[in-house]
């Protein structure tokens, strides 16, 4: 399946993640995950164009609908269990996502609620647009991994910024961060947690330019308990920036944090 320039450009300009802009908690990741197989990218961008080409603007998709359109291509024992991404994360034999479980824990800690069965919550409630609880938003839209940039090999002369990750990020950052901040002002989520961020100082500068009253304070990490983060409270929204991701790095337990306790801390101010 080929990646078509028109559809890819539509994705870049309009895809912002999953859920609802009306959600109480926005989790802003650095970039959309995946992208190892061009077929996966094509299936994602085809879905968005097919469902939204009559309109344009910052779009949050229904993750369950989109994942039904993306084939599961991972080899090994799991290959026979799952047909689609939807099966893998939301089906009867779904696998708990290593990061989503901690985002779920954060929400419940913030709300002073006990943890639910994490897998059941993931399958039925997490980032569901109708629930308006969590939104999964991406600072950068293309499915990608830090260790590789596959888009440099695409023959797309109308999208020259794809020739390198740096060009791509420099080109998209001003528009993407402004759109996220404009929607923050419009929808007033309770919490916007930007995690796994590589450019904390740049983000703080952008936020303070957009919200002149914003004042950040840095909260130091407590090992295996609370991640280091920067916090500002603006117009009823708590903005949080951290380099940490809500998952174990290289599957090492010592690299993790208690995200339920993190949510409790944020709520307590």
pLDDT in tens, 100-158: 999 999 999 999 999 999 999 999 999 999 999 999 999 999 999 767 898 998 989 99
88 pLDDT band (50/70/90 cuts)?
very high
In this model, does residue 259 exceed pLDDT 60? yes
Q: Which CATH architecture has domain 20-34+97-268?
A: 3-Layer(aba) Sandwich (3.40)
Structure tokens, 191: 């919490």
In this model, does residue 18 exceed pLDDT 60? yes
Structure tokens, 93: 């034999």
In this model, does residue 85 exceed pLDDT 60? yes
pLDDT tens digits, residue range 234-247?
999 999 999 999 99
Distance separating alpha carbons of residues 21 and 59, to the nearest angstrom: 9
Give the per-residue pLDDT at 80: 78
Give the per-residue pLDDT at 76: 75
Q: Which residue has the tokens 């999953």?
A: 18
Per domain, the residue ranges of the chain are 20-34+97-268
Nearest to 127 by CA among 84, 66, 58, 182: 66
58 pLDDT band (50/70/90 cuts)?
very high
**Cα angle value 49/147/244 (rounded, 5°):** 90
In this model, does residue 75 exceed pLDDT 80? no
191 and 26 in contact (C-beta within 8 Å)? yes
Give the per-residue pLDDT at 228: 98
Give the per-residue pLDDT at 36: 84
Nearest to 177 by CA among 204, 195, 151: 204
Whole-model pTM: value is 0.96
134 and 126 in contact (C-beta within 8 Å)? yes
Eight-class DSSP state of 247 = S
Structure tokens, 177: 């961060």
Eight-class DSSP state of 248 = -
Distance separating alpha carbons of residues 132 and 128, to the nearest angstrom: 7
């Amino acid at each position: 399946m080929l990646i078509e320039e028109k559809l890819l450009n539509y994705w870049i300009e309009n895809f912002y993640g999953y859920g609802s802009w009306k959600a109480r908690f926005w989790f802003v990741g650095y970039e959309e995950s995946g992208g190892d197989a061009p077929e996966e990218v094509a299936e994602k961008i085809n879905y968005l164009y097919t469902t939204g080409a009559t309109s344009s603007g910052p779009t949050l998709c229904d993750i369950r609908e989109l994942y039904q359109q993306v084939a599961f291509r991972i080899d090994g024992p799991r290959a026979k269990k799952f047909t689609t991404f939807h099966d893998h994360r939301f089906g009867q034999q779904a696998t708990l996502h290593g990061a989503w479980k901690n985002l779920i824990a954060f929400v419940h800690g913030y709300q002073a609620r006990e943890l639910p069965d994490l897998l059941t919550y993931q399958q039925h409630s997490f980032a569901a647009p109708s629930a308006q609880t969590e939104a999964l938003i991406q600072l950068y839209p293309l499915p990608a991994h830090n260790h590789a940039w596959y888009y440099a090999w695409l023959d797309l002369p109308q999208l020259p910024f794809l020739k390198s990750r740096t060009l791509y990020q420099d080109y998209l950052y001003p528009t993407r961060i402004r759109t996220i901040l404009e929607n923050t002002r419009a929808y007033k989520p309770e919490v916007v947690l930007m995690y796994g961020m590589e450019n904390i100082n740049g983000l703080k500068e952008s936020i303070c330019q957009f919200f002149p009253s914003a004042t950040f304070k840095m909260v130091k990490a407590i090992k295996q308990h609370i991640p280091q983060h920067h916090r500002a409270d603006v117009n009823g929204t708590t903005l949080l920036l951290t380099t940490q991701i809500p998952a174990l790095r290289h599957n090492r337990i010592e690299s993790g944090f208690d995200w339920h306790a993190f949510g409790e801390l944020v709520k307590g101010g």
